[in-house]
Amino acid sequence: MIPESVKIVEVGPRDGLQNESRVLPVPERIRLVQGLTGAGLKQIEAGSFVRPDLLPQVSDTDQVLSGLNLDAEVGYPVLVPNMRGLESALSAGAREIAVFAAASETFSQKNINCSISESIRRFSEVAKTAIDQGLKVRGYISCVLGCPYAGAISPEKVLYVAGALEDIGCYEISLGDTIGIGTPIATRVLIDTITPHIPVGRLAVHFHDTYGQALANILVALQAGISVVDSSVAGLGGCPYAPGASGNVATEDVVYMLDGMSIHHGIDLGRLIAIGRSICSLLDRPVMSKVNRATPIDFEV
């Protein structure tokens, strides 16, 4: 049941950076994405087309895309919140976008000022237009194992949102534990609720390590046959609901665990460690990856 190979979706350059206090200039963001490509990542979230005043950390994503030496074998999804964002993404030459919905009504209202069903309606137009233009569309669901405002979230609610994202054309649905609150049993129950209705091959997992549960939860997801894992180099990105806490699970830590399980991933851990150290030094923040911290040798990026 455990997959022989796993695809890691590197979310550091978007999900990671957007939760950092320091804003990296465009050339450094380009260098980050190029470095990650060089380390073997095949799916790298390159930025976002949300309003720049809301998230200056990921503004000017058009310049990031145009500055990249795009690799035909690499996907560079960009987050798109609405039709205006899609138009910008299309003008910038994006080949893949990501849309997002919450599994919590309260979170949806607070995050994007509309209900879950309104958000799905909005994204259905975005997804249809994108697909008509030949783009791939990935879907994120936030708060799948708990909401910072509403607490517990039922797996059935997550299933409903996942089904809606599948219906609007998302080729993959990433289950996001936005506040990192989930434990392995809850993860198992969630996946067991969804997989009778949505093929396991269309699911990805997106864990945060806020409560130290991410790798345990990823292991459960792998045991359930999920073979796509979102992670962020050096654990970039904190938790907006718990200042100072860990954010996204670190790519280095996921890669190390996959190595220990002889699961193929195609990533050069040494290069990844070097990138993690370099980006954290630019951001003036500690490396959150335990594997990175434990590795004594300095690598060249």
Q: For the CB of residue 81, give the shortest distance to Mg ion in the complex, in Å.
A: 16
Q: For the CB of residue 297, give the shortest distance to Mg ion in the complex, in Å.
A: 29
Q: Contact 144/103 with Cβ under 8 angstroms?
A: yes
**Per-residue binding letters, 166-185, with Mg ion (x by CB under 5 A):** --------------------
Q: For the CB of residue 181, give the shortest distance to Mg ion in the complex, in Å.
A: 13
- 170 in catalytic set: no
CA angle 24, 30, 31 (to 5 degrees): 90
* Cβ proximity to Mg ion, 59 vs 248, nearer residue: 248
* Cβ proximity to Mg ion, 137 vs 179, nearer residue: 179
Site for Mg ion in 221-280 (CB under 5 A): 248
Q: What is the DSSP string of 164-222?
A: HHHHTT-SEEEEEETT----HHHHHHHHHHHTTTS-GGGEEEEEB-TTS-HHHHHHHHH
Q: Which one of 143, 147, 170, 239 is the catalytic residue?
A: 239
From CA 97, how far away is CA 94, in angstroms rounded? Answer: 7
Across the beta sheet with 96-102, the strand order is 43-44, 7-10, 228-231, 203-207, 172-177, 136-142, 96-102, 78-79, 47-48
Q: Contact 150/107 with Cβ under 8 angstroms?
A: yes
* Cβ proximity to Mg ion, 248 vs 289, nearer residue: 248
From CA 221, how far away is CA 149, in angstroms rounded? Answer: 25
From CA 64, how far away is CA 72, in angstroms rounded? Answer: 16
Which residues of 86-168 form beta strands (DSSP E)? Answer: 96-102, 136-142
Give yes or no for residue 15 binding Mg ion (CB under 5 A). yes
Give yes or no for residue 45 binding Mg ion (CB under 5 A). no
Q: Contacts with Mg ion: how many residues (CB under 5 A)?
A: 2
Q: Which of 198, 202, 213 is nearest to 245 (CA)?
A: 213
Only segment of 8-16, 125-133, 142-150, 263-271 that touches Mg ion (CB under 5 A): 8-16
Only segment of 9-17, 130-138, 164-172, 260-268 that touches Mg ion (CB under 5 A): 9-17
Chain centre distance of CA 283: 19
Chain residue at closest Cβ approach to Mg ion: 15
* Cβ proximity to Mg ion, 213 vs 248, nearer residue: 248
Q: For the CB of residue 264, give the shortest distance to Mg ion in the complex, in Å.
A: 24
* Cβ proximity to Mg ion, 227 vs 248, nearer residue: 248
From CA 248, how far away is CA 297, in angstroms rounded? Answer: 24
Q: For the CB of residue 206, give the shortest distance to Mg ion in the complex, in Å.
A: 6
Only segment of 15-23, 26-34, 54-62, 265-273 that touches Mg ion (CB under 5 A): 15-23
Chain centre distance of CA 269: 19
| Per-residue DSSP letter, 264 | B
Only segment of 13-21, 22-30, 52-60, 103-111 that touches Mg ion (CB under 5 A): 13-21
Q: For the CB of residue 50, give the shortest distance to Mg ion in the complex, in Å.
A: 15
Only segment of 10-18, 48-56, 128-136, 214-222 that touches Mg ion (CB under 5 A): 10-18
* Cβ proximity to Mg ion, 248 vs 295, nearer residue: 248
- Show which residues are catalytic: 239
Which positions lie near Mg ion, rule CB under 5 A?
15, 248
